[in-house]
């Protein structure tokens, strides 16, 4: 189904503030699936680089610290944690200084290749019937053959407002500017604003949280019906 054994993969891409993480986690809960936040790996590597005082704008420096990057993440949506070595960095990787360094490490091809191998391994070894995988290039690079591929998006002003509600230490204007910078930087690495062929767009601009979750569950249900119909039609 996905190149990961019998694991049913729901691949969700989208920009920051689209509701990607919260919606993906809730969908995983309702389906009793695993939840894989791929962005956490890049954030954790950025944290690791900063801890080693590495220059995240220099690819060679980033590759140097990749060698001893001991990364682990929980796929349980109800017991989510991220670790680097023995250090729990679940909260630390959400800090502003880490967010500002993420694009620097994520743009390095060797980093993305290593991360993609890790993601596929985590999916294959999840022990779950399915995994909801969310990030930037999940539908096109990480699991391009996933049975469910979704681009979750929303209008820029709505995304900025949502992120501002999450970040209480910055003004709305500062959050919006940071969101714009992140989108601009990340878009040089991967196109996460345009749906690839075969990818379903779920626009959450006019949807609340529960409606967004229901919309994604609806896409999954449609795919399952199509697969059942195809099986019975043989």
Domain annotation covers residue 234? no
Domain annotation covers residue 153? yes
Is residue 22 annotated as involved in ligand binding? Answer: yes
Domain annotation covers residue 171? yes
Condensed to tens digits (0 to 9), the pLDDT of residues 131-152 reads: 999 998 999 999 999 999 999 9
Domain annotation covers residue 79? yes
Domain annotation covers residue 2? no
Condensed to tens digits (0 to 9), the pLDDT of residues 76-134 reads: 999 999 999 999 999 999 998 998 899 899 999 999 999 999 999 999 999 999 999 99
At 163, which CATH number?
Answer: 3.40.50.300
Is residue 218 annotated as involved in ligand binding? Answer: no
Domain count, the chain: 1
Is residue 57 annotated as involved in ligand binding? Answer: no
By residue range, what is the domain housing residue 91? 8-228
Domain annotation covers residue 43? yes
Quick one: how many helices (H) and strands (E) in the chain? 8, 8
Domain annotation covers residue 39? yes
Is residue 34 annotated as involved in ligand binding? Answer: no
Is residue 187 annotated as involved in ligand binding? Answer: no
A 10 A CB-CB count for 185 gives 15
In DSSP notation, 45-98 reads HHHHHHHTT--TT-HHHHHHHHTT--EEE---TTS--EEETTEE-TTGGGSHHH
Domain annotation covers residue 62? yes
pTM (2 decimals)? 0.85
Task: Return d(Cα 49, Cα 65) in angstroms, integer.
Answer: 6
Is residue 198 annotated as involved in ligand binding? Answer: no
């Amino acid at each position: 189904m996905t190149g990961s054994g019998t694991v049913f993969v729901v691949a969700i891409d989208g920009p920051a503030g689209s509701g990607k993480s919260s919606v993906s986690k809730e969908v995983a809960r309702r389906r009793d699936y695993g939840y894989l936040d791929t962005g956490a790996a890049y954030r954790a590597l950025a944290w690791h680089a900063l801890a080693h005082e590495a220059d995240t704008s220099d690819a060679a420096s980033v590759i140097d610290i990749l060698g001893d990057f001991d990364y682990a993440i929980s796929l349980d949506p109800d017991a989510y944690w991220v670790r680097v070595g023995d250090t729990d960095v679940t909260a630390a990787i959400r800090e502003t200084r880490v967010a500002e360094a993420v694009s620097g490490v994520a743009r390095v091809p060797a980093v993305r290749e290593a991360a993609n191998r890790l993601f596929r391994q985590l999916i294959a070894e999840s022990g779950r019937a399915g995994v909801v995988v969310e990030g930037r290039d999940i539908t096109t690079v990480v699991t391009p053959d996933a049975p469910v591929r979704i681009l979750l998006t929303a209008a820029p002003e709505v995304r900025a407002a949502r992120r501002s509600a999450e970040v209480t230490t910055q003004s709305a204007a500062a959050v919006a500017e940071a969101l714009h910078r992140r989108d601009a930087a990340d878009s040089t690495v991967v196109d996460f604003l345009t749906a690839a062929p075969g990818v379903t767009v779920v626009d959450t601009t006019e949807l609340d949280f529960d409606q967004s979750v229901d919309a994604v569950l609806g896409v999954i249900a449609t795919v399952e019906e199509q697969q059942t119909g195809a099986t019975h039609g043989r």
